[in-house]
Amino acid sequence: MQSTPTSPSSSATPSVEMPLLSEPVSADSGSVEDLEAALQYRFANRELLVLALTHSSISHERSSIIHDPEASEPQRVDNERLEFLGDSIVGMVAAEAVYRRYPGLPEGDLTRLRGSLVSRRHLAEVAQGLDLGRYLLLGRGEERSGGRTKTALLANAMEAVIGALYLDAGLEAVRRLIEDRAIAPVVATLHAQLSVGGGMGDFKSALQEILQSQKRGQPVYRTTGESGPDHRKRFFVEVRAGAEALAEGEGRTRKHAEQDAARRAIEKLNVAEQAE
């Protein structure tokens, strides 16, 4: 992983974002102002945020190549360079967070924790929490193939937004975003999974093992509701152990909602165990 610079540089700001300001931000009219509200930050250079939302498919389809006379190669107007920067930043912030939180953990466990926090699946879930897919600029082909809900595309866009925020506001602002959205909600549960075994981030398997160790049987998941139009559907799922309702979760798919319910159930069980 590349080292992360300690402060933003104005010279690092891309010189190719301006033509995109006339583009619609998304198919269902999400505005950058709405996304800024979700991020709780107003960009000084909003073109950086628009660039972070611009997938390479729109550049390929529209052949929007801008030639920089000082560059050896033409530059494409997309978020891939910001994604590269954001990847380095989120890895560094996650590594520091687990290092400081768990001073007794050996290197191998720290690596597993960091890996779960920066995984494609987890970053895509963070992006879903911001409704990031709504704001993406996609080419027609990517739009038709469901690009707004693709795990890899959402994770990449999340990294690009992190890179854009770093360039616009600096490391402390981006650390707060990563901590609030990607680390604090899940790190305690992921840490608990280290002693359970299995795949970290697979909360359903972890909950099953916890309940079995407590001789409480198998967890049972039940869909309790759904809301929203088809392209922005949210599912609600309850998980039970016998007659006891442990927790309810939500997500863009039933699978995501079940994982969220399992995560919340593990957190509840951990709190109860600590209180005893």
Nearest to 220 by CA among 232, 206, 204: 204
105 by Cβ neighbours in 10 Å (0-12 / 13-18 / 19+) ranks as middle
- Of the residues 159, 238, 258, 260, only one is catalytic, namely 159
Helices (H), 118-253: 120-129, 140-144, 151-169, 171-178, 187-196, 203-213
Strand partners, 249: 237
> How far is Cα 253 from Cα 263, in angstroms, rounded to an integer?
15
> How far is Cα 167 from Cα 48, in angstroms, rounded to an integer?
8
Q: Is 87 a catalytic residue?
A: yes
Nearest to 143 by CA among 75, 61, 82: 61
Q: Is 33 a catalytic residue?
A: no
- Of the residues 17, 87, 142, 168, only one is catalytic, namely 87
Dihedral sign of CA atoms 160, 4, 108, 103 in order: negative
Residue type at 183? Answer: I
- What is the set of active-site residues? 87, 159
